[in-house]
Amino acid sequence: MSNIIFADEEEAIGKINIDDLYDKNMKRDLKQVALFNKMLNRVHKRIQTNTRMKRNEKYIWFLVPEFLFGEPVYDQSDCIAYIISKLVENGFYVRYVHPHSLFISWEQWIPSYVRNEIKKKTGKVINEKGQVISDAKADTDEPDDSDPNSKLLHQNTANNSGGKKQYTPIGQYKPSGMVYNPDILEKLEKKITFKN
């Protein structure tokens, strides 16, 4: 039939559901994400295998294939971006090398048992990347001796709690002593008087 002439009234009154238009796109996107997760699992397996086989190497090179047999065609750049974001979110150091290579490293990661030992020995809590999160000394009222500003800016030190110092204005100042020792001046005077 023609698009202009309707066969019955139901066709004329019916509305189009816009959500149905997006169903195909949603299904395609879900398949893409499932495929990207398969690729991410391959990367994880490769990392685990490399860790088991080569204990001293804490990096891998991963080539993202252009296609997978038995899988629909996918956008390789989207897959690379997805893998990079997930690995960085997981704590890996990832660098992309054109056209489809990924350098993945976990050398900078500090394991939890090392972090616990550092916390026991130094009292400092560090994160996975070695940055100091908190210091046990900072929680107490004692200032840290390694920080030069701690004594300047810390309000509860023993020097400040002793009381406020009293200062005399310059106009009211009267010197109480001499700059030179009086014994030295007497010796100098005796030497001068004997020479005459």
49: CATH: 3.30.1370
Residue 172 lies in a domain: no
Q: Does residue 91 lie in a domain region?
A: yes
| Contact yes or no for 33/76 (Cβ under 8 A) | no
Instruction: Say if 11 falls within a structural domain.
Output: no
> Residue 165 falls within a domain, yes or no?
no
Question: Is 90 within the bounds of a domain?
Answer: yes
pLDDT of residue 36: 95
Model pLDDT for residues 52-87, shown as the tens digit of each residue: 998 889 999 999 999 889 888 889 999 999 999 999
**92/141 same-domain check:** no
Residue 8 lies in a domain: no
End position of a domain, from candidates 105, 138, 165:
105
Instruction: Mark whether 126 and 81 lie in a shared domain.
Output: no
If asked whether residues 122 and 79 sit together in one domain, one would say no
Structure confidence at residue 76 (pLDDT):
92
Q: Residue 124 belongs to what domain range? A: 112-156
Question: Bigger pLDDT: 20 or 86?
Answer: 86
Domain final residue, candidates 122, 137, 156: 156
Based on the domain organization, do 48 and 99 belong to the same domain? yes
User: Rounded to the nearest 10 degrees, how much is the dihedral formed by the CA atoms of 78, 80, 83, 84?
Assistant: -110
Question: Could you read off the pLDDT of 98-157 as tens digits, one per residue?
Answer: 889 999 999 988 888 988 988 888 888 888 878 888 875 555 555 555 655 555 555 555
What total number of domains does the chain contain? 2
Residues 98 and 148 in one domain: no
Model pTM greater than 0.85?
A: no
Residue 184 lies in a domain: no
